[in-house]
Structure 1
Amino acid sequence: MRCLLHNTILLILLNSISGSIYANVSYNNIPSAYQPSVWHRVFQKINEKREFLPIIYNEREVSGSIIGDAVCLICDAVFTALLTERSFDMTKIQLEAQVEYYCADFLKIEEQDVCAGVIGLNMDPILYILDKKATVTSTEVCSMLLGCTQGSEAFEWKIDIPAGETVKKVESDGKQTFKIAHITDIHYDPDYTEGKPADCGKPQCCQPDQDNPANTSVSVCGYWTSEIHADVSPKLLNNTLDEMNSKPLMDFEFVYFTGDLVSHRVWNTSQDYNRKTITYVLDVFAEKFKNKKVFPILGNHEAHPMNLYPPLNIPEDDLNQQWLFDVISEKWLHWLTDNEKETVKNGGYYTVSPKTGFRIIVLNNNVCQSENWWNLYENKDPYGQLQWLVKVLQQAEKDKEIVHILSHIPTSACLKVWGREYNRIIERFANTIAAQFNGHTHRDHFSIYYDSKNVSNNVVINGASLVTDGAYPNFKIYTVDSKGFDILDSEVYTFDLEKANTNKKIDWYKLYSFQKDFGVANLTHTEMDRLVKTMISDIKSKNYTLINKYHDFYYRGSKIGKNVNCDSKCQNKYLCDMLTTVERQTTMCEKYLTF
């Protein structure tokens, strides 16, 4: 009882700080990204006091400030109390009830069934980690969740990288090209229900178990999907893939799919539900792209529970993800050979060479995110994946191959140690890697990698998403040089969702050509670095043309995006994100963002 009271007092402090200290301060009116993990969202509000920091912005960058230290102290106290309760044999049922109370009743983070579902799914893995590992400290938890400095020593390791410099870059000449399609974050909802309230008070709406609209003034879920709180309907999925195959202009050879097939109904998933979704969508891919190679990767939503990718040596079937690796190793055989799927069954990653001199590396980097509780249990290079990446890149370097790397999570959203080691690998093999691709954020953006001398050496392009999340659905078509395999252009296709729902017909159109609209020769890191510096120079001269265009495309031309006033803080966020690929490593932001 004493611990419960202690927790209540601490959470009152937490809530009061997050609610009152900046109640009247608004970053801007951009709709908040959907983050259903209630564990992370308990501290999410407090973390937003980055608004009181200098203009330098980065996810969870609060460490080192007075407010940041206070947040970490509160986090430490809260988890100390919870860990103490467990050490005094507080039962799973008692712990679940306590956290559900904080989530649904006290802090009102989500509705009762959402809190109960997510917490119930996460509790067994968390208790397994607490009970099986010799020690788990509150500072480790807070370092993982918030990037607090204290406890960070638990997340410190290095990858062995061979000595030497990257090879001389193979220069693209544009004489011969081919095309690659990129689609990401489908979040397929087999139960999407038209006519239900579009804003139901839950992370995902448009569900058959919702009440019907109370009156005609209530905004309802549209024919294809809705702008917020809705996933991709069967109709939208099929229409999109048909459209991608319909025009000679889009005569692409390969499809990059960078993860997240499963819906946002994360409080009610199961192995069976996820398996059926994954199987169905991959079968649709195989049917629609009969004569094309698809290179799929895992997203954080494919796992059950979401985000959790445990070590391979966890024997319990209800805790490990072997069922998932078995499913994809079977379904990905549409496009991979038996030899290529060996690592798929042991971690969900692989490499393939679809053209002479060209190699694709697919990573399961969902292991790197802070919401993966298993990093508290074992975090050193999960699945041996980064060391494997070094081996593959070293062989590619020897064989004079050029590489594209696909992953789901932007490395800036990974644990700092994982992102740092990944950056070290990129620096060593920079000229072997032509480009990188990811998803996860549901936004159209890019980031530049910089070496230890702050010189650009690589670029990563985000595919945005088919799911709306406050923007219009989209897919991309890349023009790729056949010699150096650089990305020469990126064309984005979308449609006006409101018109499509009204007319029950989608009119796809090309939103932009990156090369033409941003005035770059190509999408290499050199050109993208130049573009960012041009944006910064323009803004200092009060010329906002490029950054406003970037903001519009970030939301794929949607009305929600157009209604957002992208002020100086918003502009700095965009620019700092372009310059950051390691969590809380803001060197390039500090160097260039002085306005």
Structure 2
Amino acid sequence: MERVAHALGEACVRLHLAEPQVCRDITELFRDDVIRVLQESFLWPSEACAVLVGPTCGHFDIYAPWNVSLPRVPKPPVKPPKPPKPGSPQNRILFLTDIHWDAEYAEGSLIECKLPLCCRNDSGRASWKHTGAGYWGTYGKCDLPLRTIENLLQNLAKSGPWDWVYWTGDIPAHNVWSQTRTQQLNELVTITRLIRKHLGPNVTVYPAVGNHESTPVNSFPPPFVHGNRSSDWLYYTMVK
């Protein structure tokens, strides 16, 4: 496994797919998942190489026909939705999604850098104050500081009350090559507490897991995967 991860990381570096730091960190992070998938997949070697490296290494058609067996259960008849009658009861619903809090956001840091995510302590400092990352956030390859998220929730509380909240995840930042489970859980707990603090403990929140909640990103093993390789570490914390 170590040799496979090292080879993939070096291939990423030599093909200039990302910065060397990102290549090596992300292949190490995805190592166990990638090897398990390759072991249980039905891909030919050239297809596996194309999935990992790209079309320069082989051919893989993601739109190729898939065999999906569906249960032989008759579908219920389609009933077109009917608009509510005038004067019907109304609800106020808040939809929160893709907060992407970056705990390492740094005001005055570079907005454009070599890494996939900038505006951070390790991005370097902007030469001119007005060209660096802003206090509340910056449009670019950047995520949000915590103060912006809390300010958002404070203003949403003033716009309330809300009957319920749909919260569709994606709390962590986009530094997918350097995340840990501990960091992901800390961010989940922190934002959950802020929502309860500002929107109130009695508001009903319907949360859903975003693709960035897990680490590695997008990694949600099926239910038959147990132990340390499962997603129990995330789901059990969400239940609490």
- TM-score tier by shorter-chain length is 0.7 to 0.9
The answer to whether the 8 A contact 1:199-1:219 is kept is: no
Q: Counterpart of 1:307?
A: 218
- 1:195 matched to 2:105? The reply is no
**Are residues 212 and 148 of structure 1, via their aligned partners in 2, closer, same or farther at CA, if it must alter by over 3 Å?**
same
CA distance change for structure 1 residues 222 and 279 in 2, over 3 Å: closer, same or farther?
same
State how 1:377-388 maps to structure 2 within 5 Å: none
Q: Which secondary structure does the structure 1 equivalent of 2:121 belong to?
A: coil
Quote the Cα distance in structure 2 between the aligned partners of 1:310 and 1:279.
Answer: 22
Q: Which runs of 5+ in 2 are unaligned?
A: 52-59
- The CA distance in 2 between the partners of 1:309 and 1:323, in whole Å, is 11
* Deviations 1:349-369, CA, capped at 9 Å, x for gaps: xxxxxxxxxxxxxxxxxxxxx
Secondary structure at 1:246's aligned position in 2?
helix
* 2:208 paired with 1:297: yes
Q: 1:329 to 1:179 in 2, by over 3 A?
A: same
The Cα shift of 1:117 comes to 1.5
Provide the C-alpha distance between the structure 1 equivalents of 2:5 and 2:239, rounded to a whole number of angstroms: 35
The answer for the alignment partner of 2:168 in structure 1 is: 258
Alignment of 1:172 onto 2:78: no
AA aligned to 1:125 is D
Name the CA distance, whole Å, in 1 between partners of 2:3 and 2:131. Answer: 39
Partner of 2:179: 269
Cα deviation, 1:416-437, whole Å, max 9, x if unaligned, reads xxxxxxxxxxxxxxxxxxxxxx
In structure 2, the residue corresponding to 1:287 is in which secondary structure?
A: helix
Q: Which residue of 2 aligns with 1:410?
A: none
State how many pairs are aligned: 228
Q: CA deviation at 1:129?
A: 2.8
Q: Is the contact made by 1:194 and 1:222 (CA closer than 8 Å) also made in structure 2?
A: yes
Deviation track 1:32-89 (CA, whole Å, cap 9, x = no partner) reads xxxxxxxxxxxxxxxxxxxxxxxxxxxxxxxxxxxxxxxxxxxxxxxxxxxxxxxxxx
Equivalent position to 1:325, from 223, 235, 239:
235
Verify: 1:284 aligned to 2:190, yes or no.
Answer: no
Letter of the structure 1 residue corresponding to residue 91 of structure 2: F
In the alignment, residue 115 of structure 2 is paired with which amino acid? K
Indicate conservation of the 8 Å contact 2:96/2:165, yes or no: yes
Per-residue Cα deviation, 1:231-263 (whole angstroms, up to 9, x for no partner): 11111000101111113xx54311111220111
Q: Which amino acid aligns with 1:196?
A: S
What is the one-letter code of the residue matched to 2:235? F
Change over 3 Å in CA distance of 1:195–1:161 after alignment to 2: farther
Query: Which one of 84, 89, 96 corresponds to residue 183 of structure 1?
Result: 96
Tell me which protein shows more helix as a share of its residues: 1
Residue 204 of structure 1 pairs with residue 114 of structure 2: no
Q: Which residue of 1 aligns with 2:42?
A: 136
Distance 1:198 1:128, change over 3 A: same
SS in 1 for 2:91: strand
Match of 2:56 in 1: none
Q: Is the 8 A contact 2:13 2:20 kept in 1?
A: yes
Equivalent positions of 1:337-376 (< 5 A) are none
Distance 1:329 1:165 in 2: 35
- Superposed displacement of residue 194, structure 1: 0.8
Q: Distance in 1 between matches of 2:155 and 2:208?
A: 22
Match of 1:147 among 42, 46, 62: 62
Quote the RMSD (CA, aligned, Å): 2.4
* Alpha-carbon distance in structure 2 between the residues aligned to 1:137 and 1:148: 14
Cα deviation, 1:190-231, whole Å, max 9, x if unaligned, reads 221111111111111122233333x32883111011101111
TM-score relative to the length of structure 2: 0.85
Looking at structure 2, the residues matched to 102 and 202 of structure 1 have their Cα atoms a distance apart, in angstroms, of: 18
- Are the counterparts in 1 of residues 10 and 24 from structure 2 also a CA contact under 8 Å? no
Which structure has the greater CA radius of gyration?
1
Deviation of 1:96 after TM superposition, in Å, equals 2.4
1:456-467 matches, cutoff 5 A: none
Give how far 1:160 is off.
4.8
CA distance in 2 between partners of 1:162 and 1:287 (Å): 47
Q: Percent identity?
A: 22
The structure with the greater share of residues assigned to strand is: 1
Corresponding residue for 2:6? 97
- Give the CA deviation at 1:100: 2.1
Counterpart CA distance in 2 for 1:127 and 1:101 is 16
Task: Tell me, yes or no, if the aligned pair for 2:93 and 2:162 is still in contact at 8 Å.
Answer: yes
Is the CA contact (8 Å cut-off) linking 1:184 and 1:260 kept in structure 2? yes
Q: Report what 1:235 is aligned to.
A: 147
Contact 1:304 1:321 in 2 (8 A): no
Matches within 5 A, 1:217-236: 219-236=131-148
Distance 2:192 2:2 in 1: 38
Change (3 A) 1:146 1:224: farther
Partner secondary structure for residue 245 of structure 1: helix
Shift of 1:140: 7.0
Match of residue 123 from structure 1: 31
Alignment of 1:65-84 (within 5 A): none
- Using the TM superposition, give the Cα deviation of residue 268 of structure 1 relative to its aligned residue in structure 2, in angstroms: 0.6
Shift of the alpha carbon at 1:168? 6.1
- Whole-Å separation in 1 of the counterparts to 2:227 and 2:35: 13
Aligned to 2:74: 162
Q: Rate the CA distance shift 1:207–1:163 in 2: closer, same or farther, 3 A.
A: closer
Amino acid at match of 2:34: I
**Distance in 2 of aligned mates of 1:100 and 1:218:** 37
Report SS of the residue matched to 1:267: coil
Contact 2:156 2:199 in 1 (8 A): no
Between the aligned partners of 1:314 and 1:287, the Cα distance in structure 2 is: 36
- Contact 1:257–1:297 under 8 Å retained in 2: yes
